[in-house]
């Protein structure tokens, strides 16, 4: 027999547990890619390009900055300053020289020996978002 009080206590305990679990997940940063609104960017179709079609476009840079903050900063660092858990993306080759390497990593992520170092973003966020992030990264590039 479950009394009303016991049922109430159980419900409260479950609520508390769910509450603390979701706080914990948020605290560590969820790894689910966050959809990005690419309104204002020219659609690029299904074939992945190897050169950034948006370079220098202020709209792309703005979208890319926000997309970076939502999807990349938790590993690569706020404002692209790495805290050491993932490479510092300010030092990627700038411009065309680094485009293909960048988009390959973005699209496929990185895994070795069955361990995922970086999840793939291509299938979920698409190349428009990838090239927007690349446009932003070019603006913070360091030699
Ligand atoms: C879960 C953590 C994580 C997230 C989130 C993440 N990365 Fe990475 N990324 C890594 C790690 C770790 C590496 C190094 C991989 C290796 O050593 O193979 C890496 C490597 C890279 C590289 C190659 C860097 C180099 O110096 O060669 C690029 C480019 C890159 N990430 C872009 C991105 C972008 C863009 C995003 C957001 C859309 C992103 N990453 C999100 C962890 C992450």
Query: For atom 1 of ligand 1, which residue has the closest CA?
Result: 118
- Closest residue by Cα to atom 13, ligand 1, is 86
**Residue 101: its pLDDT value, please?**
98
The Cβ of residue 43 has, within 10 Å, a number of other Cβ atoms equal to: 8
According to CATH, the topology of domain 32-139 is Cytochrome Bc1 Complex; Chain D, domain 2 (1.10.760)
Does this model's pTM top 0.85? no
Which pLDDT does position 14 carry in this prediction? 47
Q: Is 80 in the pocket of ligand 1 (CB under 6 A)?
A: no
Q: Cα(96)–Cα(94) distance, rounded to whole angstroms?
A: 7
Helix (H, G, I), strand (E, B) or coil at 12: helix
pLDDT digits (tens, 9 = 90+) for 19-75: 444 333 333 445 678 889 999 999 999 999 999 999 999 999 999 999 999 999 999
Q: Domain spans of the chain? A: 1-30, 32-139
Q: How far is the CA of 118 from the centre of ligand 1 (A)?
A: 5
Query: Ligand 1 within 6 A of 87 CB?
Result: yes
Residue 82 Cβ < 6 Å to ligand 1:
no
Asked if residues 119 and 109 have their Cβ atoms less than 8 Å apart, the reply is yes
Q: Which two tokens stand for residue 127?
A: 């190349």
What pLDDT, in 10s, does the model give residues 95-137? 999 999 999 999 999 999 999 999 999 999 999 999 999 999 9
């Amino acid at each position: 027999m479950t009394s009303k009080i016991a049922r109430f206590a159980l419900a409260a305990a479950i609520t508390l547990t769910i509450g603390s679990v979701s706080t914990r997940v948020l605290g560590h940063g969820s790894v689910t890619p966050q959809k990005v609104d690419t309104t204002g960017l020219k659609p690029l179709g299904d074939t992945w390009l190897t050169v950034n079609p948006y370079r220098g476009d202020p709209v792309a840079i703005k979208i890319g900055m926000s997309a970076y903050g939502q999807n990349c900063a938790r590993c690569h660092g706020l404002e692209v300053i790495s805290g050491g858990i993932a490479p510092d993306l300010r030092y990627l080759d700038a411009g065309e020289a680094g485009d293909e390497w960048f988009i390959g990593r973005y699209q496929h992520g990185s895994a070795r020996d069955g361990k995922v170092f970086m999840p793939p973003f291509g299938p979920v966020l698409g190349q428009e978002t990838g090239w927007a992030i690349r446009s932003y990264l070019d603006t913070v590039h360091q030699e």
